[in-house]
């Protein structure tokens, strides 16, 4: 059956459940070649409105999951509801579980110094036998790319997780995958910070209600500009799109 993609403000998101996403990822790794997974949230969608390079990367991703709860609400409002949310944090955990079962090697790139190392320790405690091919903080700046490509290629991972934040992490993957040819590369934003315990994650009930943005704002007031862009501005753009469509 053909994979259904739903457009939200011009950004396509795959209508997949978490289990379906994981099954497709496993199939991509087995098939060989290089692949890019993006976990789309409202901030991604808003950035894509003003960043053509980022918009192109999202459009060409092999799988684009619906990370933000706001995407589920927007898709429903647009009349094309999504069947589930697939977040970067949960998908990272499921990928670690898959890697342990299948013997895939993972490489953790990005975040602040020491965070990827702590994340690797947490994952290996949770999934005994998980093969961590390497960890490195590095930088998303293009001048560092030749060195990073060398150490990643030497590690030969099947799964590369990049935590440089949006849009840098996915632009980095798009630039470097032609050289690296890692079977699966995915940008994971602040996932390493959450898994390592450096940044507390919202309680499960708040996540289920889609109110993480309130929790993050309370914990990190400096994020207010990002949250304004991801919540009221995003919502207004979706409402405006529907109103325009109804008039035409």
Residue 233 has a pLDDT of: 87
What's the whole-model pTM score?
Answer: 0.89
The one-character DSSP state at 223 is G
pLDDT value at 3 more than 90? no
The one-character DSSP state at 126 is H
Mean pLDDT computed over 166-185:
97
pLDDT value at 85 more than 70? yes
Nearest to 107 by CA among 147, 137, 86: 137
Residue 13 has a pLDDT of: 97
pLDDT digit string, tens, across residues 90-149: 999 999 999 999 999 999 999 999 999 999 999 999 999 999 999 999 999 999 999 999
Average pLDDT, the chain: 90
Question: What is the span of the domain harbouring residue 11?
Answer: 5-247
Residue 211 has a pLDDT of: 60
pLDDT value at 176 more than 90? yes
Structure tokens at 207: 């996540």
Rounded to the nearest 10 degrees, what angle do helices 52-60 and 42-50 cross at? 130
Residue 1 has a pLDDT of: 43
Please state the domain count of the chain: 1
The residues, ordered by sequence, that sit 6+ positions from 22 with a Cβ below 8 Å of its Cβ are: 91, 94, 95, 98
Q: In angstroms, rounded to a whole number, what is the distance separating the alpha carbons of residues 195 and 96?
A: 12
């Amino acid at each position: 059956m053909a994979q259904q993609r739903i457009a939200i403000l011009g950004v396509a998101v795959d209508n997949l459940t978490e289990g379906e996403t994981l099954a497709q990822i496993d199939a991509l790794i087995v098939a060989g070649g290089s692949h890019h997974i993006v976990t789309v949230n409202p901030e991604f969608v808003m950035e894509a409105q003003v960043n053509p390079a980022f918009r192109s990367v999202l459009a060409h991703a092999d799988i684009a999951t619906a990370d933000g709860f706001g995407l589920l609400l927007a898709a429903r409002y647009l009349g094309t509801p999504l069947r589930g949310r697939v977040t970067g944090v949960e998908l990272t955990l499921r990928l670690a579980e898959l890697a342990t079962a299948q013997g895939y090697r993972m490489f953790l790139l990005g975040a602040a110094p020491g965070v990827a190392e702590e994340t690797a320790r947490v994952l290996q405690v949770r999934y005994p036998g998980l093969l961590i091919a390497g960890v490195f903080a590095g930088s998303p700046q293009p001048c560092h790319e030749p060195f990073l490509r060398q150490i990643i290629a030497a590690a030969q991972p099947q799964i590369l997780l990049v935590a440089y934040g949006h849009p840098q992490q996915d632009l980095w993957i798009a630039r470097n995958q032609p050289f690296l040819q890692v079977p699966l590369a995915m940008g994971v934003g602040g996932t390493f910070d959450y898994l390592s315990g450096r940044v507390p994650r919202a309680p499960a009930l708040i996540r289920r209600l889609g109110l993480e943005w309130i929790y993050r704002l309370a914990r990190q007031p400096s994020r207010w500009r990002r949250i304004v862009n991801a919540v009221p501005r995003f919502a207004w753009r979706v409402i405006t799109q529907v109103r325009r469509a109804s008039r035409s």
